[in-house]
């Protein structure tokens, strides 16, 4: 029996992938919020789900630790393409990548005056490319989370972070000053798996495509 391994991250991506799996007749048999297991069985004996950190999904799929994965466009850009086959925009876990500053920071005039901007972010590749295209000089500070704190503590002038409802920014007296790009989650497939396990993977891709259109 050929086993298909799908890499997902806990939270929004896992939750919003479940209906797509259901449309393909696949039901995950365990709740990751209740169990500590990292390999989850499904009702299909040849399909299993592995739970990894969101930033590790492209790595698992690139090296064949998983045949397929669901990952945000943000994570994918930061990881680099590295031969991942990307057949589908699933249209789930939608948000945007934006620049935000303290509500008392004059971003427009800092940019106009050509000041060097200190930017804290987890999304270094996206931020670098964005500010380079604008011709704004930046000092990049790499963080791994709680970006909102950086402008409040004087660590940075601006952050580049994901925004969904905007509630996190508001709660921390930050304002969105630029929208860099819209984000949604993508299906990524290991290229060797696509050749070696063509039939079951194609079936999954087709079912996901149908369900995400609906």
Q: Which of 161, 174, 208, 212 binds ligand PRP (CB under 6 A)?
A: 161
Q: Which two tokens stand for residue 106?
A: 């004059």
Close Cβ partners of 124 (under 8 Å, ≥ 6 residues apart): 78, 140, 142
Q: Position of tokens 């790009």?
A: 181
Separation CA 155–CA 150 (nearest Å): 5
Q: Which is nearer to ligand PRP, 164 or 198 (CB)?
A: 164
Please report whether residue 163 would count as binding ligand PRP according to CB under 6 A.
yes
- Specify the residue, 14 or 85, whose C-beta has the smaller distance to ligand PRP: 14
Considering only residues 164 through 203, tell me which ones interact with ligand PRP, judged by CB under 6 A: 164-168
Q: Which two tokens stand for residue 166?
A: 């905007």
* Residue 81 lies near ligand PRP (rule: CB under 6 A): no
In this complex, which beta carbon is closest to ligand PRP, that of residue 164 or of residue 191?
164
x-or-dash string of contact with ligand PRP, 127-146, rule CB under 6 A: ------------------x-
Instruction: Find where tokens 């303290």 sit.
Output: 102
CB of 164 to ligand PRP, least distance (A): 3
Interface with ligand PRP, residue 33, by CB under 6 A: no
Please give the distance of CA 36 from its chain centroid, rounded to a whole number. 22
Does residue 53 contact residue 32 with C-beta atoms inside 8 Å?
no
Least separation in angstroms between residue 191's CB and ligand PRP is 28
How far is it, in rounded angstroms, from Cα 1 to Cα 47?
10
Q: For residue 210, give the H/E element and its range.
A: helix 198-213
C-alpha–C-alpha distance, residues 198 and 68, integer Å:
12
186 or 197: CB nearest ligand PRP: 186
Q: Which is nearer to ligand PRP, 149 or 207 (CB)?
A: 149
Quick check: 65 binds ligand PRP (CB under 6 A)? no
Judged by the rule CB under 6 A, the positions of this chain that interact with ligand PRP are: 145, 161-168
């Amino acid at each position: 029996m050929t086993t298909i391994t799908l890499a997902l991250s806990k939270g929004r991506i896992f939750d919003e992938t479940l209906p797509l799996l259901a449309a393909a007749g696949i039901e995950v048999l365990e709740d990751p919020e209740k169990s500590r297991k990292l390999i989850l069985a499904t009702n299909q004996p040849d399909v299993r789900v592995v739970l990894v950190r969101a930033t590790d999904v492209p790595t698992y799929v690139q090296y064949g630790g998983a045949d397929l994965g669901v990952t945000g466009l943000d994570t994918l850009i930061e990881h680099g393409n590295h031969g991942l086959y990307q057949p589908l925009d699933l249209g789930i876990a939608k948000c945007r990548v934006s620049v935000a500053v303290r509500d008392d920071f004059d971003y427009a005039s800092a940019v106009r005056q050509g000041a060097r901007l200190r930017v804290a972010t987890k999304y270094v590749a996206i931020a670098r490319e964005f500010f380079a295209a604008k011709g704004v000089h930046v000092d990049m500070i790499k963080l791994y989370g709680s970006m909102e704190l950086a402008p409040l503590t004087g660590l940075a002038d601006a952050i580049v972070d994901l925004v969904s409802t905007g509630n996190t920014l508001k709660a921390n007296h930050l304002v969105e000053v630029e929208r860099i790009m819209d984000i949604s989650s993508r299906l990524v497939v290991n290229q060797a798996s696509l050749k070696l396990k063509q039939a079951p993977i194609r079936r999954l891709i087709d079912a996901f495509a149908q369900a995400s259109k609906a």
